[in-house]
Amino acid sequence: MFKIIRVLKEPIAITGFSSLSNLGSQPQEIWENYQQEKIFFSSLEGDFVGSLNAEAHQQVQALRYENKHYEKLDKTVLMAVLSGRRATQQAGWNTRDNFGINLGSSRGATALFEAYHKTFILTGATPTQSSPQTTLGNIATWVAQDLKARGPVISHSITCSTALHAILNGIAWITSGMTNKFLVGGSEAPLTPFTLAQMKAMKLYANHHHHSYPCRSLDFTKKQNTMVLGEGGGSICLERETNQAQLAKIIGIGYAVDSLEHAVSISAEADCFQASMKMAMEGLDKNSVDAIVMHAPGTMKGDLSETKAIQQVFGDQIPLCTSTKWKTGHTFGASGVLSIELALFMMEHQEFIPVPFQGESPYPVTLYRIMVNAVGFGGNAVSILLERSA
């Protein structure tokens, strides 16, 4: 039996945040795009994808040619560098601060790896820099080089819950007393024909083109899976609660692993999410959670099992539920950090952003506590409970 324990003894402050996605790279632009019902998907070989919008793409390209060492880096790394810069600037961190870095990715340097492998298949040789430029570790390492960070530097992959696991790890370092601040997050640029083919092979990808919303996350009338891939990244500055300006604070964290029937399965009522949500709320009134930003990738089993888990945990008093993926697509390892972003926006502006399949409903103006969920292949679930700063 999974024992629920209170794992976070004190709040952790979020003092900086930055992201890039198909919704943009500037907070005001991203928020305005969330308020619209229109989608921001483009096409890759006839399939819907969530590509960076033009401005964000230009910013990434400008960074690429800012430094000769950045010219051949994968887009995944460049997005992490750019969001890391902006988040630490917002938080007021500098090179004298002893902060750590944990920035992960589900698939790492996807485009470069595929390009280098294609070269190898065709020629039997690889470019000199193929190994260092495709290792998972180069994501956080290049961010550390750019920021001249002096603390621990970690990259990891825990599939689609990667970014929220980075938060868990950063909190563990801070609460242990080994460092006072941690930059965490995720970055993903999976928009390649091979990655799309992998999703199609599992029959997860949206294959209809007549709907106005191709990724129908939390649409329980759908008769097929509707996952759409997106690219994006984001960085979050974590530190012990301070008197300085805070975007929000983390008051609860939870994690659990499902018992699998196969590599991509999840239990009918998402036992992992039930356990992670209960852990995040241990000692707190569950009715004080105002909303949940769900993982809800647009797959039939994924959306339904997470919904059933929420029903099991919250009973008759279910919080408002939403997801980012009908807007951004599924950004794999970066998806959790984009969900955190939506939660921060909704608490700041006191406006709930629903998915368009929920119908017309009155929404409360008080959004004080919001939970964020993520789960990846392997049934590795994480729940983060955020509270609005005073």
Query: pLDDT by residue (tens digit) across 92-119?
Result: 998 778 899 999 999 999 999 999 999 9
Residues 69 and 227: their CA atoms lie apart, in Å, by: 35
In a domain, 126, yes or no: yes
Answer yes or no: are the C-beta atoms of 287 and 317 closer than 8 Å.
yes
- CATH number for 372: 3.40.47.10
163 and 290: one domain? no
By the 8 A CB rule, do 256 and 275 touch?
yes
Q: What is the reported pLDDT for 5?
A: 54
Its domain, for residue 173, covers: 12-240
DSSP one-letter string for 251-262: EEEEEEEPPPSS
For 324-351, what is each residue's pLDDT tens digit?
Answer: 999 999 999 999 999 999 999 999 999 9
pLDDT beneath 70: ranges in the chain: 1-7, 209-210, 260-265, 360-362
What value does the CA radius of gyration of the chain take, rounded to a whole number of Å? 20
Domain count, the chain: 2
Residue 195 and residue 297 share a domain: no
Predicted confidence at residue 274, as pLDDT, reads 95
- How high is the pLDDT of residue 90? 96
Domain check: are 346 and 208 in the same one?
no
Residue 342 falls within a domain, yes or no?
Answer: yes
Residue 245 placed within a domain:
no
Q: In terms of domains, do 126 and 271 share one?
A: no
Asked whether the beta carbons of 148 and 94 are under 8 A apart, the reply is: no
| Domain end marker among 216, 240, 264 | 240
The residue behind tokens 């570790």 is 137
Residues 366 and 257 in one domain: yes
- Pick the last residue of a domain from 180, 207, 240: 240
23 and 161 assigned to the same domain: yes
One domain, residues 235 and 107: yes
pLDDT of residue 4: 54
Query: Is 6 part of any domain?
Result: no
